[in-house]
A and B are shown apart, each in its own frame.
Chain A
Amino acid sequence: MNAHRQVAAVLSVLSFGLGQLYNRQYMKGLILLLVEVVGLSYFINNLSHAIWGLVTLGKTPTHFETINGVATTVKGDHSIFLMLGGLITLLLLFLFVAAYVMNIKDAYRTGKKREEGHKPANIVESVRYVMDKRFPEIFLSIPILGVLFVTILPIIFTMLIAFTNYSGPDNLPPAKVLKWVGFRTFHDLIMFKTWSYTFFHILGWTIVWAVVATFTTYMGGVLVALLVNQKGIRLKGMWRTIFIIPYAIPQLVSLLVMKNMFNGQFGPINQYLGYFGLGKLPWLTDPTMAKITVIIVNMWVGIPVSMILIMGVLTAIPKDLYEAAEVDGASAFMKFRLITMPFILFTTAPLLIIQFAGNINNFNVIFLLTKGDPVNGKFQYGGSTDLLVTWLYKLTLDQQKYNIAAAVGIIIFIMIASLSIWSYRKTRSFKEEDMIQ
């Protein structure tokens, strides 16, 4: 017999594990057969219902019916459960098909080995082989499975919501059945005056915020790091420890504290101003002042991180560059402008872009400090300091405008993803695929 591979592969196509059994890998074959039995019984029971649910989003809403003169609730289809359930089933189907393909490939490969005169590996040898040669795949598969269900599934689900009419107060299951509406949500967001006004204004502020927040924390970090690293400054370790404190305190706590400190009526900052005979400032209640306050507080939170990073970079600048500059009679400022700054910028440029992307999504600072307020009457459910993300949060949790929120989320995602992929492709860890060491 010299056609083991065809026989094994065909047998595995017919059913999970048959090829393996033919290859005399009994343990493996039995396990695969078991996978098939479990999988098939699940899909026979669920697949058609799942697809029906995903396509139609249900037919009958939960409603009242008069049965024998008594009004009773009749449980109908819940579009959201149907949608999520359908997605999970499809995801499992995808995994099942992947397992099926692997099962065929494995049978083929083992069959080929047999033709070449090798004995098929028994279960112990298989495990050992996998641990040795397939190590990364095996170990990555656990977190990847987790990410699949905890991150990817919710993301797909949310994206799908942008294409439905899922929004309060009129279209909420179980009282209503949802419908697919295609790109109408996006159309409304851009074309409807009330929505688009809010959207573009918040988008504009989000970008201004991200640019200013990134720039201030970065430059602040550079200055503080240079200040500490100066020749002749004593107790460098102590200064560094003190300056790290804002980073060490959980943002949840420090931002809520700041919110109290800047409180217009009771806050100590205004009280001190009064103490010195100055007027009170509307730190968080005036739209413009609130924006400035948010940026100042963000500097307090963000400068330490930049400082740590830049201190690391500073130690890597070759000393002879400075020595050469000194011989040429360069001033301290020229050394900073021509050596230090270009070096720092060069090493941390990709990082700057990541920080920029992070600031677009900087939920904590805005939400904990102002909750996006002061409220802007012209905005649809938004405030003057709202970023797109905090607006999205309000739209979801307070207003139940799930479809609009999902559409905004997709837009944020496209912005950030393109930005960060572009920057990451430029960093070394992506380029240097063959380690030079």
Chain B
Amino acid sequence: MSTTSRKKSKLTLGLFLSYVLLVIIAICCIYPALWVVLASFRPGAALYSPTLIPKSLTLDHYHELLTSTRFKFTTWYWNTLKIATLTMVFSTILTTLSGYSLSRFRFRSRKTIMTGVLILSMFPTFMSLTAFYVLLLQLKLFDNIYALVAIYSAAGLLQAFVVKGFFDTIPRSLEESARIDGASNLQIFARIMLPLSKPMLTYVALMSFTGAWVDFILAKVVLRSKDHWSVAVGLFDLVDKEQNSNFALFATGSVLIALPITILFVFLQRFLVDGLTAGASKG
């Protein structure tokens, strides 16, 4: 036997083991998600079933969750959609403009702002809960979804670092020639920076959308009446009250919340990966 063929068999054995590992990890990744999806279609309300694949499928749980007056799931869904979309729009605009300013301009207090943003983003949100509570109560904005949008969007500046990191990678020469041609700052931003930053924009938009979509800490404090709840608050309530008695309903709610976001993520993962790495290794 020559050494090359022994090397080859060692290689294929290694590859085989790698594939086995990959499959095991893949199962670990998919299993919980698959289990919840299937549980939502399974008849009955029990948490456990001896087989992963149910013997029969039913849409009863979806029907119950969406029509029952005990839950106001459709109202929550609509609320959440409003909150998340508005937050996404405002937050993306603010974050992108701030990231652009921090990346492309040198002005006094720039470093102060950057350090400040950094410190603030490390602050635990819950520390501000009492303050929000009193503040909103005083401003009569309690239990108001737009107050929540305002808070989420204003906090958007704290993400500006990732955007700045991305803009830093766009060559300066591009805008310099535009500036010689007499383009204004806003024109440069709109015509040159924006088209080049599609992955970044996708990332920021998605992050702010999903952040608002699933946040429940702040939402729980701000949104008090059941009519104004977001899906996250509703789901948390559901699992708190009936996780053992009606697991199927919880599973259904989970699928309805997670599905749009998960599809978006998987669909846009190329942009995501770019955005994440640009923000991280270069930021």
Interfacial residues, chain A to chain B (CB-CB below 8 A) = 80-81, 84-85, 131-132, 135-137, 139-140, 142-144, 146-147, 149-155, 157-158, 161, 224, 227-228, 230, 232-233, 239-254, 256-261, 263, 265-268, 271, 275, 300, 304-305, 308-309, 311-313, 316, 347-348, 351, 357, 361, 363, 389, 392-393, 396-397, 402, 405-406, 409, 412-413, 416-417, 420-421, 424, 427-430, 433, 435, 437
> Do B94 and A392 touch (CB < 8 A)?
no
CA distance A351 to B276 in the complex (A): 12
Q: Which residues 190-226 of B have a CB within 8 angstroms of A? A: 210, 213-214, 216-217, 221
> Do B155 and A147 touch (CB < 8 A)?
yes
The contact of B281 among A135, A254, A309, A363, by CB within 8 Å, is: A309
> Do A233 and B18 touch (CB < 8 A)?
yes
30 A-B contacts, Cβ less than 8 Å apart? A80-B134, A135-B101, A135-B105, A136-B110, A139-B101, A140-B102, A143-B157, A146-B154, A147-B155, A150-B151, A150-B154, A151-B123, A154-B127, A155-B127, A155-B131, A228-B22, A246-B29, A249-B261, A252-B216, A253-B254, A254-B32, A260-B47, A266-B244, A271-B48, A312-B277, A312-B281, A393-B126, A397-B221, A402-B130, A435-B172
Given contact pairs A241-B266, A245-B262, A268-B47, A136 touches B122 in the complex (Cβ within 8 A) = no
CA distance A84 to B136 in the complex (A): 11
> Do B173 and A437 touch (CB < 8 A)?
yes
- Which A-chain residue is minimally distant from B46 (CB atoms)? A266
Q: Which residues 14-67 of B have a CB within 8 angstroms of A? A: 15, 18-19, 21-22, 25-26, 28-30, 32-33, 35-36, 46-50
The residues of A that contact B151 with a CB separation of less than 8 Å are: 150
The number of residue pairs between A and B whose CB atoms lie closer than 8 Å in the complex comes to 280
CA distance A161 to B127 in the complex (A): 11
> Do A428 and B282 touch (CB < 8 A)?
yes
> Do B250 and A147 touch (CB < 8 A)?
no
CA distance A312 to B276 in the complex (A): 9
> Do A429 and B281 touch (CB < 8 A)?
no
The contact of A392 among B126, B153, B172, by CB within 8 Å, is: B126
Which 6 A-B residue pairs are closest in the complex by CB-CB distance?
A146-B154, A312-B277, A154-B131, A154-B128, A248-B265, A136-B101
> Do A412 and B124 touch (CB < 8 A)?
yes
The residues of A that contact B98 with a CB separation of less than 8 Å are: 139-140, 143
> Do A363 and B94 touch (CB < 8 A)?
no
The residues of A that contact B247 with a CB separation of less than 8 Å are: 260, 266
Interface size class of B (residues with CB under 8 A): 35 or more
CA distance A242 to B221 in the complex (A): 35
A246-B29, A266-B244, A304-B29 provided; 8 other pairs, C-beta below 8 A?
A147-B158, A151-B123, A158-B131, A257-B35, A300-B32, A309-B277, A429-B168, A435-B168
- Which A-chain residue is minimally distant from B131 (CB atoms)? A154
**From residue A299, how far is it (CB to closest CB) to chain B in Å?**
10
- Which A-chain residue is minimally distant from B238 (CB atoms)? A256
The residues of B that contact A271 with a CB separation of less than 8 Å are: 48, 50
CA distance A272 to B235 in the complex (A): 26
The contact of A300 among B15, B28, B164, B173, by CB within 8 Å, is: B28
> Do B128 and A158 touch (CB < 8 A)?
yes
Instruction: Convert B172-186 into 0s and 1s, putting 1 for each residue whose CB lies closer than 8 angstroms to a CB of A.
Output: 110000000000111
Interface centre among A250, A271, A402 (most CB of B within 10 A): A250
Is B280 close to A, CB under 8 A?
A: yes
- Which B-chain residue is minimally distant from A332 (CB atoms)? B14
CA distance A309 to B185 in the complex (A): 32
> Do B47 and A131 touch (CB < 8 A)?
no
CA distance A412 to B119 in the complex (A): 12
Instruction: Convert B252-283 into 0s and 1s, putting 1 for each residue whose CB lies closer than 8 angstroms to a CB of A.
Output: 00100110011001100100110011001111
The contact of A250 among B101, B119, B165, B214, by CB within 8 Å, is: B214
**From residue A208, how far is it (CB to closest CB) to chain B in Å?**
19
> Do A347 and B281 touch (CB < 8 A)?
yes
Is B145 close to A, CB under 8 A?
A: no
CA distance A256 to B243 in the complex (A): 10
> Do A232 and B47 touch (CB < 8 A)?
no
> Do B138 and A256 touch (CB < 8 A)?
no
> Do B262 and A146 touch (CB < 8 A)?
no
**From residue A183, how far is it (CB to closest CB) to chain B in Å?**
18
**From residue A141, how far is it (CB to closest CB) to chain B in Å?**
10
CA distance A14 to B204 in the complex (A): 47
**From residue A18, how far is it (CB to closest CB) to chain B in Å?**
27
> Do A406 and B235 touch (CB < 8 A)?
no
Interface centre among B100, B130, B155, B172 (most CB of A within 10 A): B130
CA distance A146 to B173 in the complex (A): 33
> Do B185 and A131 touch (CB < 8 A)?
yes
Is B89 close to A, CB under 8 A?
A: no
- Which B-chain residue is minimally distant from A313 (CB atoms)? B281
The residues of B that contact A250 with a CB separation of less than 8 Å are: 210, 213-214, 257-258, 261-262
> Do A248 and B261 touch (CB < 8 A)?
yes
The residues of B that contact A154 with a CB separation of less than 8 Å are: 127-128, 130-132, 135
The contact of B15 among A147, A233, A261, by CB within 8 Å, is: A233
